[in-house]
């Protein structure tokens, strides 16, 4: 059920309607939208929130992707990433950046967990690249035991074994 909702959320990110696209905005050399003093996008019709930029945060349980203490993708993790990659490739012109952040529970040393979280984020990155996602827009980082849920319970530790995926994309919005 959670997998379906995640893919639905990703597909919803790219749901578009006709009217204003990113090309209707002025973008600087860093790829950022240029805004006026009121925070409105330059060269965009009134009423376009956030300059058409949409950020979608997805959190995938590392248990779906990885066995405990492992960084090799499980078959069910590959299956889920196949769907994510298909959406990203299909909408490649709209995707601005993808940030993958690996996390771990507190079992093990801080140094080990930092390395494990990085290996997990790298495994997801490499798989997405294999499936055709542009490597230039993907950042993979490991946070180890940072940003954790309560490590005193099995449930909290399970939540900590995760990979967060942040997708920033530009989409068309209807301003009619």
Looking at residue 23, its pLDDT comes to: 41
3-state class (DSSP) for residue 148? coil
Taking the C-alpha atoms of residue 109 and residue 169, their distance in angstroms, rounded to an integer, is 36
Q: Of 167, 107, 168, 119, whose CA–CA distance to 143 is shortest?
A: 119
Give me the CATH code for the 2-170 domain, please: 3.30.1330.60
Bridge partners, 173 (sequence order): 20
Contacts with 176 (C-beta within 8 Å, 6 or more apart), sequence order: 19
Residues of the chain with pLDDT under 50: 1-6, 16-26, 45-48, 173-176
Q: Which residue has the tokens 């909702």?
A: 5
For 56-99, write each residue's pLDDT tens digit: 666 666 566 887 888 988 898 899 899 999 999 998 888 889 99
What residue segments make up the domains of the chain, in order of their start? 2-170
């Amino acid at each position: 059920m959670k997998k379906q909702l995640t893919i639905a959320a990703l597909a919803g990110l790219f749901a578009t309607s006709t009217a204003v696209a990113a090309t209707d905005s002025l973008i600087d050399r860093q790829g950022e939208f240029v805004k006026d003093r009121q925070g409105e996008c330059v060269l965009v019709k009134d009423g376009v929130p956030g300059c058409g930029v949409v950020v979608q945060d997805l959190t995938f349980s590392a248990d779906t992707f990885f066995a405990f203490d492992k960084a090799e993708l499980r078959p069910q993790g590959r299956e889920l990433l196949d769907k994510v990659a298909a959406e990203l490739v299909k909408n490649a012109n709209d995707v601005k950046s993808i940030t993958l952040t690996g996390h771990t529970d507190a079992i093990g040393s801080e140094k080990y967990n930092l390395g494990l979280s990085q290996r997990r984020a790298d495994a997801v990155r490499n798989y997405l690249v294999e499936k055709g996602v542009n490597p230039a827009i993907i950042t993979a980082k490991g946070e180890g035991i940072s940003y954790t849920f309560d490590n005193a319970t099995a449930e909290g530790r399970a939540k900590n074994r995760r990979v967060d995926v942040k997708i920033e994309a530009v989409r068309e919005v209807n301003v009619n």
